[in-house]
Chains A and B, each alone.
Chain A
Amino acid sequence: MSTVATPAPAPRRRRRRGTKLQRRQTRIGWILLLPSLAVVGFVALYPLGKTVYQSFTNQEFLAGIEPTKWVGLENYRTLWHDTIFRDAVWLTVKFTLITVSFEFALGLIIALVVNSSFKGRGAMRAVMLVPWAIPTVVAAKMWQWMLDDVFGVINDILMKLHIISHPHAWISDPATSLAAVSAVDIWKTTPFVALLLLAGLQVIPRDLYEAASVDGANQLQQFWRITLPLLLPAILVTLVFRTLDALRVFDVFFVFFGNRQDTQTMAVYAQSTIVGDGHVGYGAAVSVAIFLIISLFAVIYMVFMRVTEE
């Protein structure tokens, strides 16, 4: 706790007055926190508890269909055999693997480029913030239009380059729909990943590279021996945030496919179960499962990070 306290008196005086000051600080501290804690409790923690409770009931959104009653683990039993949910989990994991690895690889290249000195570096960094700032829904719409099978520019460019011979329906063809939706996410998020990595690159001291080149290390060796190890903390933080973010993806998929069954992510499935079908109880079980899956990834990452820190 290296934070600055309120007036910092001499150590001796503080010990004598310690308890009183301490108590005063504690009281004021909690009073100041109260509104925020109340809001977080009311809109996040209480609903989380309520969701867990609902997952053990057969609650429906439209009351009157059936009185809500406790059904024990039945929802979870159904969920275990629910192949639609299983497909949704698998699709989400695939999407996460694809997007996070592309975003990381491209983001690292971009960060290294921007980190080198050239005219217009500031402009470049500004340009990189732009895809990040726009709504995901807007990005999805822009790409949906670019990927249009008849009037889309992507088909046109690919045909001009002779990569494909006929226009392709990227979004509606199940074979390419995941690639199409990943392209949007990669476009929107890579610059953000690059900015986080760039922040990590900029704290690496320059003289390390100078010393290394005096010792005759070439650029590739410098990258592997200096840049990558020193960038590791930034890399890990970036990967954690990106993974947790990709696992809860909703916007792009929903805009592209609605709740088309072969292209549902976990979040789309939960949303359409709860809001579309009104099955609040079963949807709550789906939500709890999603929460556990995401927490599992978070824990794996934390353990992994602690291991690498040692």
Chain B
Amino acid sequence: MSTAAETEAARAPARPVSRSRAFRRTPVGRAVVKIPLWILIAAIFVYALFPFYWALRSAFMPANELFTTPIKYFPTDPTWANFREVLNSSFFRRALLNSTIVAGSVTLISLAIGSLAAYALGRFHFHGRTFVLYLMLSMTIFPQIAILGALYTMISNFHLYDKLGALILTYLIFTLPFTVWVLTSFMRALPGELEEAAYVDGATPLQVFYKVLLPLIAPGLVTTGLLAFIAAWNEYLYAVSFIQTPSHYTVPVAITSFTSPGGNAFQIPWGQIMAATVIVTLPLILATLILQKRILGGLTAGAVKG
């Protein structure tokens, strides 16, 4: 924000400058001008990260410290007890496994058939191509609640109710169109020469796809896959509607159904819940931080919330 002022000051040395401008040109002045910016930056950092800090702080606190007033801002007696209890409960471990199965399968299926569709949409000219592109785009903003009832009856007709298969099938509604849309933009960005050379050598379209194009869009597959995985991992509406048995819960449903191990219905085990949120959030944060540049590219290419 102050860069414009700086360039302005630097650009017009010949002009008579006011005293405040002269001050801004000194090193001290430059730092002073930046103070409001740094305050804002600090505020944004605190705003974005404080809830995580609070979850961490609560996860490391023993219950007797957690449920006392006045509340403490740092754990004076940090403990792994909450983490241990959460990871020891087969209920939560099961949920982690279920979510991994569901999100993993959905991502693989979406990438497998979505990349074929993206190949067609990105590299071929044919009648109806534009229509399919618009169909996929409109599917990315499709409200999932609109078909909940129909899916509910379909799933029970197929005897998928209360099974992970119900989620794998229905999550394709949002992961597949998104995958197709983003991968199409990756496919389009590739130059045509390599493909041409392969065709001259007598390759079939499918060989071109597997041997030439797929390796080239590998980074795109990773990004898109990660975004699809996160979307499936985070889904709640269908998970809470189609699953009934606690051993089939996915992570979001499990996190909302923690009860005290002692059977005390009135005290919510916040320490364990916070430990669970830290456990499920950590891998996502790590993956996001490692792949942040690619994610940003993928998100803005699709301009779609994952």
- Chain A contact residues, CB within 8 Å of chain B: 1, 3-8, 22, 25-26, 28-30, 32-33, 35-37, 39-40, 43-44, 46-48, 50-51, 54, 59, 61, 109-110, 112-113, 116-118, 120, 124-139, 141-143, 145-146, 148, 150-153, 156, 187, 191-192, 195-196, 199, 209-210, 213-214, 219, 222, 237, 241, 244-245, 247-248, 250-251, 254-255, 266-267, 270-271, 274-275, 280, 283-284, 287-288, 290-291, 294, 298
Contact of A129 among B68, B280, B288, B304 (CB under 8 A): B288
Cβ–Cβ contact B285 & A36, under 8 A: no
Asked whether A51 and B169 contact (CB < 8 A) given A133-B230, A210-B7, A210-B11, the answer is no
A26 to B125, CA, bound (A): 7
Known contacts A125-B292, A126-B289, A138 near B281 by CB under 8 Å: yes
Size of the chain B interface, CB-CB below 8 angstroms: 114
Residue of A25, A109, A241 with most partner-chain B CB within 10 A: A25
The answer to whether A116 and B296 touch (CB under 8 A), given A48-B150, A61-B153, is: no
Do B148 and A192 touch (CB < 8 A)? no
- Cα(A200)–Cα(B180), bound, Å: 23
Q: A138-B252, A210-B11 are in contact. List 4 more A-B contacts (CB 8 A).
A: A46-B150, A145-B58, A145-B270, A271-B237
Q: How far is the CA of A137 from the CA of B288 in the complex (A)?
A: 18
The list of the 3 closest CB pairs from A to B, nearest first, reads: A47-B150, A32-B120, A135-B234
A89 to chain B, nearest CB (A): 13
Q: Could you tell me which residues of chain B, from 180 to 229, have a CB within 8 Å of some CB in chain A?
A: 180, 188, 190-192, 195-196, 199-200, 205, 208
Let me know if B83 is at the binding interface, CB within 8 A: no
CB of B263 closer than 8 Å to a CB of A = no
- Please pick, from B48, B132, B156, the residue contacting A127 in the complex, using a CB distance under 8 A: B48
The residues of B that contact A148 with a CB separation of less than 8 Å are: 270
- Is A274 a contact of B152 with CB atoms below 8 Å? yes
Q: What's the least CB distance linking A105 to chain B, in Å?
A: 14
Asked if residues B289 and A131 are in contact (CB atoms below 8 Å), the reply is no
Contacts of A40 on B, CB cut-off 8 Å? 135-136, 139, 173, 176-177
Determine chain B's interface SS by DSSP, over half rule.
helix
Residue contact A6 to B117, C-beta cutoff 8 Å: no
B295–A129 contact, CB under 8 A? yes
Q: A129-B288, A151-B71, A213-B11 are in contact. Are A29 and B147 (CB under 8 A)?
A: no
A-B contacts, 21 of them at CB < 8 A, read A6-B195, A6-B208, A22-B126, A30-B126, A32-B116, A47-B151, A61-B152, A120-B41, A127-B48, A127-B49, A135-B280, A137-B236, A141-B255, A145-B54, A151-B71, A214-B12, A219-B1, A267-B143, A271-B148, A283-B149, A294-B143
The CA of A110 and the CA of B44, in the complex, are separated in Å by: 7
Does any Cβ of A come within 8 Å of B114's Cβ? Answer: yes
Q: How far is the CB of B82 from chain A (nearest CB, A)?
A: 13
Q: Is the CB of A192 within 8 A of B154?
A: no
**Residue of B144, B146, B236 with highest tally of chain A CB at under 10 A:** B146
**Cα of A6 to Cα of B123 in the assembled complex, Å:** 6
Q: A7-B196, A43-B169, A283-B149 are in contact. Are A113 and B41 (CB under 8 A)?
A: yes
Roughly how many angstroms separate A30 CA and B117 CA in the complex, as a whole number? 9
B145 A271 Cβ-Cβ under 8 A: yes
If A4-B192, A33-B121, A151-B71 touch, whether A118 touches B176 (CB-CB below 8 Å) is no
**Which residues of chain A are within 8 angstroms of B1 by Cβ–Cβ distance?**
112-113, 116, 219
> In the bound complex, what is the Cα–Cα distance between A244 and B12 (angstroms)?
48
Q: Is B98 an interface residue (CB 8 A)?
A: no
Which of A5, A26, A219 is close to B127, meaning CB atoms less than 8 Å apart? A26
Q: How far is the CA of A130 from the CA of B230 in the complex (A)?
A: 12
8 A Cβ contacts from B20-55 to A: 34, 37-38, 40-41, 44-45, 47-49, 51-52, 54-55
Contacting residues, chain B, for A255 (C-beta < 8 A): 236, 256
Contact B284 A267 (CB under 8 A): no
Q: Is the CB of B304 within 8 A of A241?
A: yes
Interchain nearest-CB distance for B141 vs A (Å): 5
Contact of A51 among B124, B149, B172, B284 (CB under 8 A): B149
Contact of A135 among B114, B129, B252, B305 (CB under 8 A): B252
A-side contacts of B69, CB under 8 Å: 150-151
Do A22 and B288 have beta carbons less than 8 Å apart? no
Task: Given the known inter-chain contacts A40-B177, A136-B234, A248-B144, please indicate yes or no for A118 contacting B125, CB distance below 8 A.
Answer: no
Q: Which of B142, B143, B270: most chain A Cβ within 10 A?
A: B143
- Answer whether residue B303 sits at the interface, using C-beta atoms and an 8 A cutoff: yes
- The yes or no answer to B4 lying at the interface (CB within 8 A) is yes
Interchain CB contact under 8 A, B51 and A146:
yes
List residues of chain A with CB within 8 A of the CB of B177. 40
**B-chain residues with CB within 8 Å of residue A137 when the two chains form the complex:** 234, 236, 252-253, 255-256
Of B41, B274, B284, which is within 8 A of A118 by CB?
B41
Among B7, B124, B139, B233, contact of A5 (Cβ-Cβ < 8 Å): B124
B262 within 8 A of partner (CB)? no
Do the beta carbons of A213 and B141 come within 8 Å of each other?
no
Report A-chain residues with C-beta under 8 Å of the C-beta of B260: none
Instruction: Give the CA-CA distance A142 to B281 in the complex, in Å.
Output: 11
Please name the residue on chain A nearest to B254 by beta carbon.
Answer: A137
Partner of A280, one of B71, B153, B230: B153
Distance in angstroms between the alpha carbons of A213 and B8 in the assembled complex: 6
